[in-house]
A and B are shown apart, each in its own frame.
Chain A
Amino acid sequence: MADASSLLLALQMGDSAFPSGGFGFSWGLETLKHDGLVHDGAGVTAFARAQLRWRWACADRPVLRAALAAKGDLDRLGALDREVEAMSLAAEQREGSRRLGRALVRSHVTMGTPGAAAFQAAQRAGRVLGHLPVAQGVVWGGAGLDVTGAEAVSAFAVAAGIGQAAVRLALVGPVEAQAMIADLRGVIATLLAQPCPERPHAFVPAAEIAVMRHESGDARLFAN
C-alpha cells in the first residue's frame, strides 16, 4: 500500500469532482447505444474493457509515461503532442482530448501546480497542443504523482468516466455502474502489471467509428 500522502494525492487527482470537464464525453458510447450496438450493462462492460486494453494501455499509457519522463521539456512534450494529434483520426476525439487537456491544465494553473503555468503558456503560444495524456503527465508529475500513481489514476478515470456516461445514458443504474468499475479494477491491475509499449498504438474501431458518426448524428447529449 502506498503511503498516506501519496494515496491522498491520487484520490484528489482522480476525484470525479475535479474540474476537468470529463463528464461531457462518452467516447462513442452514446452513438453505439443510438446505433443499437450497446444496449445493456454487458455491452458497456465490453466497451470499457476494449477502451482500457486496446486504447488506454497501448496509446494513453505510453504517452502519459513519456510526458512524465519529459519533466517539463517543452520540445519533447510538443513532439509527443503532435504524435497524439496525428493518431487521433476522429475529429471529435481529437478536439475532445485537447479540450480536456486544456481544462485540466487551467485548474492546475489556478492551484499553482509546478510546471502547469509554463505548459499553459506554451499551449497558448502554439508550441504544444495539450492533449489529455500529455497534460496529465505534466500536471500530475508536477503535483508529485509517480508513474504508478499517474497510470492508476488515468486508467481509473477512463473506467469511471464510462461508468458515469453509461448511467446518464440509462444503460446501467448507479450501483450496477459501480459493480462494473469494481470488475474493471481487476482489468486495470492486470494491464498495469504488463510491460508498457514503447510506441503508442490503438485499435478500438467500433468506438472510433461511433465517435465519427456522432459528428453528424442525432445523439447529442455528450460532446462525443
Chain B
Amino acid sequence: MNAPASPATAQLDLSFSRAPSGETYLARQYAGFPFHVTRALQLDEEPAGMATVVLQSLGAGLLQGDRLAMAITAQPGAAAHVTTQGSGVAHAMLREGARQDAAIVVGEGAFLEYLPRPMILFPDADVTTSLDVVLHEGASVMWCDAYLAHDPQKGDGRFARLHAQTTLRDGAGALLALDRFAIDGSVLDEAGVMAGHAVHASLGFAGPGADGALAALWREALDEIDGVYGGVSTLPGEAGLFCRLLARDGVALRRAMLALWRVMRLQRFDVEPGARP
C-alpha cells in the first residue's frame, strides 16, 4: 500500500467546537478541490446543539492518481454528524491507483457520527482507503465504511483492487480495533466470501451506550430488513460494537444503515434523529 497523504496537506480539514451556548459550530473549515461542504446545519433535537455537515464533491469521482485526504476533528464536548451528498464513484484506473484517507479525532466528551454513502467501484477501479479514528475519554463515535461494486455497462466487469484499513485507537494511541482487507473483484464471484451479495459495509459505534443492550437492538433491526445479511459483535476490550454487513444492493444497505443509526440514537438519547433533506 502506498503511503497516506500527510494531514497537513489534507484537502478537507474540519474542526467542530462547542460554543458557550451549547451549539456546535465549525471552528475551522478548509475545503480544497474536489471537496465542498455545506454550512453547519442544526437538524437534531438531541444531542443538543449537534451540527450536521454534508460533504460534497465538485469532481467526477475518484480518478487514477488521486490522493485525497480528510481530517475531521470534534473538539471536547462538540456534537457533529458528517455525511456525503451521495455515493462517490471510483472510475477505471488502468495506469495507477487512487487513494483516499480520512483521519478522525473525537475529543473528550464529544459525539461524532461519520456516515458517508458507499463508494461505488467501477470495473478496473484500483483504490486504497484508510479511516483512522482516535477516541478520547468519554467520547462517542459512529462510523461506517462501505463499498458497492457496479458495472455501468451492465456486464460482469470487476474492480481491479481494493485495499482498505480502518483503525480505532484510544487517546493514548493504543490500538483498539483494526479492520484490514486487500481484495480484487474476483471476491464477488466467490460464494464463500460474499454469499452472493454485491455490497459490503462495516459500521462501528464506540463510547457510552455501546453495550449489549444496543447490540441486541441492532440484531433485531437487521433481522427486519430484506436483502441484508449482517452480524453484530463486541469489539476487543469491549471498546464498542461492530457490525459487518453484506447487502443485495445499495437500497438494502441504505435501509440497514438508517435503521442502525436510528436505533442507536433512540437508545442513547430517547429521541429520533431529525429529518434530513
Contacts and interface: CB of A to CB of B under 8 A. Distances in A.
Given A86-B236, A88-B236, A209-B230, A216 B219 contact: yes
Contacts of B183: 54, 203
Contacts of A32: 195
Interface residues on A, range: 35 or more
A205 B200 contact: yes
B244 A50 contact: no
Interface of B is mostly: strand
Name, among A83, A200, A201, A215, the residue most crowded by chain B CB atoms within 10 Å (CB to CB): A201
B236 A205 contact: no
Interface string A61-99: 000000000000000000000110111111110100000
Interface in B165-217: 165, 175-183, 187, 190-195, 197, 200, 216
Chain A facing B: main interface SS:
helix
Contact of B175 (A43, A82, A206, A211): A82
B122 interface: no
Given A86-B176, A199-B180, A201-B182, A212 B231 contact: yes
B112 interface: no
B175 A210 contact: no
Interface in B222-271: 229-236, 242, 244-246
Interface residues of B, number: 33
Given A54-B183, A82-B175, A89-B244, A206 B233 contact: no
Contacts of B216: 216
A51 B192 contact: yes
A51 B190 CA distance: 11
A212 B233 contact: yes
A205 B244 contact: yes
A48 B231 contact: no
A58 interface: yes
Contact of A49 (B190, B232, B234, B236): B190
Contacts of B200: 205
B155 to A, nearest CB: 23
Interface of B: 165, 175-183, 187, 190-195, 197, 200, 216, 219, 229-236, 242, 244-246
Interface of A: 32, 35, 37, 43, 46-51, 53-54, 58, 82-83, 85-92, 94, 197, 199-213, 215-216
